[in-house]
Structure 1
């Protein structure tokens, strides 16, 4: 641990100016320190006894139990641990190691341009109102700490293992995008080496987006919610909610058996699953009980009605996005033909939104023209009795004491 103890002194010897050489030196030092710590880490012994009454393993005895960060002893002092945590928070603000790629125009090669997407986190569903007073439900997705980790050109992509025949002769490469930075001490040395090219901290989530050559983005470039525009349409991909093992009534919506009159232990069964004869037996694809949920699915043609530029939150029209709250969502431009033609007429930022594209004194919230913005007064009262105004402004009104003497008290919502 001699190298780790002198890490603070080596770091303080660097110049104070923050250019791309300093950022690369800080990143390499942090990765070097984390690799040495991982190699020399000693795991604390636990008093758990396998297959005893007090402790039973979650998996079989043949599987190696992965220790958590709390049970790993790196041999660091409190000052070294505090210094590493401090530098971990500073590194994401470092500039690009390499110069940005030259910006190219939309459909510069004469072919359809495919931009990179971003990784969003599903926050929840909130209502919004249009200028006509219609209530619509919108799903909030936050683009949190997104960076481009790597770009693979079309030549290298064609020789990779993930290349598919449908990408042949179309000039497609791919960008690796990561979200949510974390400390290098939480990952292995091999995983940390994936981020040396971009000069950013390791990410908790990585994904690939197929892009054309004119939409390539340099590694280390940050991505924000302004990668898209209000009014654009996007396609999202995410995993559905995990439901576990379910029967046919829940999984496929079958009716099941009768509730009574001769039915015994077959109220929610599927019934016959195959007949006899030459075509007898259970056919392939028969709907039966099994695992439900946690499957990748697409939702296409979702309109962006609002963008919060301060917190990078995108409001999508529709409450039925797949996945539970805090789930990862892949967000990309819509591939439906009407939206492709609309982007040709009004191209989006290429290849992404850069700080120099920002409009001075732009508002924090950007609304669609059909949404009500709450900026101006929308209700005015003239010559109205204050008592009646207070009465009719309550959420519920209690009616009772009719003229005929009968008491017809009930609650009515406004």
Structure 2
């Protein structure tokens, strides 16, 4: 559920270029010194714990949830917890799933021959496959995988959003991206993805906001 709220700020001086002016009957212009009230509209997500929990209880609940998600992520790292889906052989034209990463910045690197190159550093944080979409569920032509990256707090998140991650057995993610994949590159939801998903020498397509 989303809540729209509004708070008011009392300003001593106008932040606008033009100050309010009052014209009297005699024709004199008098500048008004009355305080200005400015309204600021805020938009936030309202959840059940906002209304029914004290600050101490909310702090305790956040701590418990954080520890629970850490343990959940650790359990997913063990291949003995659950059987993965069967792996298929790579063929020409196969399309693999991508990763969700965070841009850290740019830096120069030098090759063994002394050549200087400027590279962009990307960090893969808590990247997991969240959901598998079959051809019928996606567009009728290709299958797709929804991948999420960077764990976030479950508070102030709608229940429908959290249910997707609960079904995959992973913590909520800050960023979700859909990747079209071929039938032989489908990965089971809940599988962690790392930078080693790619190998040196491969060409990748990177999309980001700059």
TM-score range, shorter chain: 0.7 to 0.9
**Cα separation, 1, equivalents of 2:43 and 2:134:** 39
Distance 1:192 1:103 in 2: 29
Verify the 8 A CA contact 2:8 2:40 in the aligned structure 1: no
Q: TM-score, normalised by structure 2?
A: 0.72
Q: Tell me, what secondary structure is at the counterpart of 2:161?
A: helix
**What secondary structure does 2:67 align onto?**
helix
| Higher strand proportion | 2
Structure 2: gaps spanning 5 or more residues? 12-35
Task: Rate the CA distance shift 1:89–1:49 in 2: closer, same or farther, 3 A.
Answer: same
In structure 1, the residue matched to 2:85 is 101
The TM-score with structure 1 as length reference comes to 0.38
Cα separation, 1, equivalents of 2:46 and 2:107: 36
Alpha-carbon distance in structure 1 between the residues aligned to 2:146 and 2:43: 30
Bigger Rg, structure 1 or 2: 1
SS at match of 1:128: strand
Corresponding residue for residue 224 of structure 1 = 194
Q: CA RMSD in A?
A: 3.0
Map 1:225-244 onto structure 2 (within 5 A): 225-239=195-209
Q: What does residue 65 of structure 2 align with?
A: 84
- 1:367 paired residue number: none
Kindly indicate whether the alpha-carbon contact (under 8 Å) linking 1:154 and 1:213 is maintained by their aligned counterparts in 2.
no
* CA-CA distance at 1:81 after TM superposition: 4.3
- Corresponding pairs, count: 177
For 1:57, what is the secondary structure of its paired residue?
strand
CA distance in structure 2 between the partners assigned to 1:89 and 1:74 by the alignment: 26
Stretches of structure 1 that go unaligned for 5 or more consecutive residues are 1-37, 59-63, 160-167, 240-322, 324-414
In the alignment, the residues of structure 2 paired with residue 182 and residue 133 of structure 1 have an alpha-carbon distance, to the nearest angstrom, of 41
Change (3 A) 1:65 1:156: closer
